[in-house]
Structure 1
Amino acid sequence: MDAKSPPPSDVLSLSIDSEEATVRLAQALAPHLGPSDIVLLDGALAAGKTFFVRALVDCLKTDDHVSSPTYTIANIYQTAICDVLHVDAYRLSDAQEFYNLGLDTQIDESICLIEWGSRIAPAFDEYLQISIAFADDADDARIFEISHVGRRWPDVIGALKTESAD
């Protein structure tokens, strides 16, 4: 499976100025997610990947404590919609190493949120890509660039564009 770069017209760039705005983005995305969806998150250390995952899982209605899977590599959270598989791919060298974890069934039945996801992007035919970068102007400010690979995501990005314009 060879992942292709998303077309530039399908990139949504959002300036997020606070943690509250990050939560609002998670609230906007959550209703569009379901079983077998893959969301890859990238960004520097402390950019807010785990914070965004926590906000997103909370929006999906969970009683579970969401924490970084840095040492466990994968955590599973139960939500009202389906399970969420939260993976940290930082210590994985490539897609084959990800395959060796044996998470195939979980991926098919869960929403899969993968931090450092670009490391293993070739493992997937379709995914939503969220890159988080520090903005220059404030401590809590971030730039979220949302793109995709595959046919599943253009409508989702369109809905997020509409919601962010409101």
Structure 2
Amino acid sequence: MSDDIQQSFQVVSRKELDTRNIAKKISSLFHEGDLIILDGDLGAGKTHFVKGFAEGLHSQDLVTSPTFSLANFYRSSSSPLLHIDLYRIDSETELNDLGLYEYFDQSITIIEWGKKFSNCFDSYVLITFQLIDHEIRQISFSAKGVLCWEKVEKIKQELAEE
């Protein structure tokens, strides 16, 4: 399979709780060193996804958008979670200056607004949120890199079991 990003599959979230439950359900498939990029407009559900993901990892930490702090770390009973928001970052130099790469191997990393820097990463799962209306979102899963494609296939199987 090619390393190029291709559409894999989509699910529909009819409310915020659905988005959180989707993330919660798939969180166990991820481990330290895994990278997830979240893409979508403001208010599309990216931070709600991270909240559900942290719940799935049994984190007791309060999950908030790191728009101004740029990065938040959340403890969990399995893998630490690094939540990054690159909305205000404009260049690869700024991204590199954050010094966050050294934590990627030690945590599951989720990056909001990371698609604009996707060329900086060799492999990742890309989750795209598209607003259909006020409540409904289409969530698309794709990947770059063979191992991440395998993970997307596992996500597809996990979510099909509902």
Deviation of residue 7 (structure 1)? 2.8
**Greater alpha carbon shift after TM alignment, 98-107 vs 144-153:** 98-107
1:145 to 135, 140, 145: 140
Q: Are the counterparts in 1 of residues 131 and 137 from structure 2 also a CA contact under 8 Å?
A: yes
Q: Are the counterparts in 2 of residues 95 and 122 from structure 1 also a CA contact under 8 Å?
A: no
Number of aligned residues: 159
Q: Percent identity?
A: 31
- TM alignment of 1:2-151, pairs within 5 A: 5-8=4-7, 11-136=8-133, 139-151=134-146
| 1:28-70 deviation per Cα after TM superposition (whole angstroms, max 9, x unaligned) | 2101111011100011111111111111011111111110001
Deviation of residue 154 (structure 1)? 2.2
| 1:100-157 deviation per Cα after TM superposition (whole angstroms, max 9, x unaligned) | 1111221110110100011221221000001101114xx2210001100001122222
Q: Secondary structure at the match of 2:72?
A: strand
Deviation of residue 73 (structure 1)? 0.6
C-alpha separation between the residues in 1 aligned to 2:12 and 2:119?
A: 28
C-alpha separation between the residues in 1 aligned to 2:21 and 2:155?
A: 11
Q: Which runs of 5+ in 1 are unaligned?
A: none
Q: Are the counterparts in 2 of residues 94 and 119 from structure 1 also a CA contact under 8 Å?
A: no
Deviation of residue 159 (structure 1)? 2.1
Q: TM-score, normalised by structure 2?
A: 0.91
Q: Which runs of 5+ in 2 are unaligned?
A: none
Q: TM-score, normalised by structure 1?
A: 0.89
